[in-house]
A and B are shown apart, each in its own frame.
Chain A
Amino acid sequence: MHNFVSQIWPSIVDGTTTGAIYALMALGYTLVYGVLRLINFAHSEVFMVGTFASLFTLHALHINYAPGGIEAIGVFAAITIAAMAASGLVAVGVEYVAYRPLRKRNSSSLANLISAIGMSFFLQEVFALRYGRDLIPFPRILLKNVLFHIGNAEVRSDMVLVVGSALVMMFILDRFVNGTRLGRGIRAVAQDASTAVLMGVNIDRVITLTFLLGGIMAGVAAMLYGTFYEVTQYNIGFVIGIKGFTAAVLGGIGNIRGALVGGFALGLVETFGGAIFTAQWIDVVAFSVLVLVLLFRPTGILGESLQRARA
């Protein structure tokens, strides 16, 4: 028990860090679900591509050390932009290739699911064939020194980077969706697609935009993951994808703020579960919590979606 008490603050810090990455991933699932009512199972590969894009940018810039000052800012800007662009493009491409043709034919959601799984395998295999099936290390580009303490927990620079960047991205996304004309178009399609057309909204364009936004968030998650865990692999997206999806459902799928709540909630549940039951039990604890939450709140913590909220 004493052991657990000493784990409280470290669990909060660790859980917040992984939770931030889950939350960014959850946004992609939730945005797409909001407008299309489908789960984009290829989102995990959107993330995977982003990690590779960050890594290759580091290779191209010959960065295998932790740069300082202006150079550090330039390097992080470069890998962030590369990951956002790569993930954003792949997300848009997945929609264009795997979903759009089915949508035009009014296919069943089962067909969409199979199409998504096919897309997932395709992307994984392309990367596996090209870059092998082993873990590929990232160089350490950020010195992981302890910046300050919360309680007895050490807070390192990489944790601050992960949580800070994620919060900034989520804030920007929230402002975009709730405060711009295009964002209003997304919300309109999510609430009532045919009425949105009656208002002159080009649904295809809104869908493309939605995948792009989700992809950009996954790209940032990928850059942060690479910096924090310092590895990638052709199937790196699998577990993160499931976690992001779980976070989205936990928070209330279709609900942007729910993705944030779900992400941090899942991260914290996992680390506390690990602290109480040892690390092997992390996933079991996380999914048990998901099942319990859904039993009592079938629409997740914040309800299905802000878009549909009555008040």
Chain B
Amino acid sequence: MLLEISELSVFYGKIQALDGVSLDVEEGEIACLIGANGAGKSTTLKTISGLRKVAHGAVRFKGADITHVPGHRRVTMGICQAPEGRGIFPGMTVMDNLGMGAYTRKKRDAERVTGDYERVFSLFPRLKERRKQIAGTMSGGEQQMLAIGRALMSDPDLLLLDEPSMGLAPMLVTQIFEIIKEINGQGTTILLVEQNAIQALSVSRRAYVLESGHITRRALAADLLDDDSIRAAYLGG
């Protein structure tokens, strides 16, 4: 397993956001974590990225225990996240935002970094056109693309995506999920968090359902898509 989370509990002050969450992501796959607003999806990703302290449980990445590794070092280890709500740097240009994605890359990797810019620009031609634009002035869809492209600039082994389709027009949603499949096809493992369950399940192999801090279902995504109780709860019947 590339990522193994076991019995994870996380608190905000006295409020418990995660209660014994366990989940695995296998190398090469897309796994998704679906659940309603407030279920603890973002908290799970933040904890994987090292932004939240773990009260109990462990996070293992590539076999190593990273539960207490500081967040910034996890990027060098190969974990990068495109955060919820288009967490781009609004005052920076598109190029500077992408440059932030490559912040931890070494000078001697310059050639590969150039290649990664090419990769990002071919996935998102829009970003190439808008290279010099201040990111905060772009549309929601463009900002979302930038957040994903920026995460790719760190050349991650595990890409964490927090609700990439949130607030996008239906056509853009389809496009974003196509791109997610394409990124995965190029060899990047992805853990996808979504409220948009149908789309998320249809691109994923493995799926988890999170309800108020607990994992209530774990299955192959295809099986959940066919499951009546899941359809009723998350897929609108």
Contact = CB atoms under 8 A, between A and B. Distances in A.
A200 B134 contact: no
Contacts of A311: 134, 136-137
Interface in B122-170: 134, 136-137, 150-151, 154
B213 interface: no
Interface of A: 181, 184-185, 187-188, 191-192, 194-203, 305-311
Contact of A184 (B49, B80, B103, B151): B103
Given A184-B92, A188-B92, 15 more contacts: A184-B100, A184-B103, A187-B92, A187-B96, A192-B87, A195-B83, A196-B100, A197-B51, A200-B73, A200-B103, A203-B72, A305-B91, A306-B91, A309-B134, A310-B136
A311 B51 CA distance: 29
Given A195-B87, A198-B81, A199-B154, A310 B134 contact: yes
Contact of B51 (A194, A306, A310): A194
B96 to A, nearest CB: 6
Nearest to B74: A200
Contacts of A191: 89-92
Contacts of A305: 91
Contacts of B81: 198
B90 A310 contact: yes
A187 to B, nearest CB: 7
Nearest to A190: B91
A175 B17 CA distance: 43
A310 B103 contact: no
B50 interface: yes
B51 A188 contact: no
B90 A199 contact: no
A33 to B, nearest CB: 15
Interface string B97-118: 0011101100000000000000
A198 B81 CA distance: 6
Interface in B54-86: 70-73, 75-76, 80-81, 83
7 closest Cβ pairs, A-B complex: A200-B75, A200-B104, A197-B71, A195-B87, A191-B89, A307-B91, A202-B72
A187 B91 contact: yes
A199 B150 CA distance: 9
Nearest to A193: B51
Contact of A185 (B49, B51, B71, B103): B103
Contact of B76 (A184, A200, A306): A200
10 contacts: A187-B89, A191-B90, A194-B83, A195-B89, A197-B71, A198-B83, A199-B75, A199-B104, A202-B72, A310-B134
Interface of B: 46, 49-51, 70-73, 75-76, 80-81, 83, 87-92, 96, 99-101, 103-104, 134, 136-137, 150-151, 154
A167 to B, nearest CB: 24
A200 B103 CA distance: 7
A21 B100 CA distance: 33
Given A187-B91, A203-B72, A198 B49 contact: yes
Contacts of B101: 199
A188 B71 CA distance: 15
Contacts of B83: 194-195, 198
A198 B90 contact: no
Contact of A199 (B70, B100, B136): B100
A197 B89 contact: no
Contacts of A199: 75, 80, 100-101, 103-104, 150, 154
Contacts of B91: 187, 191, 305-310
Contacts of B87: 192, 194-195, 198
Contacts of A307: 91
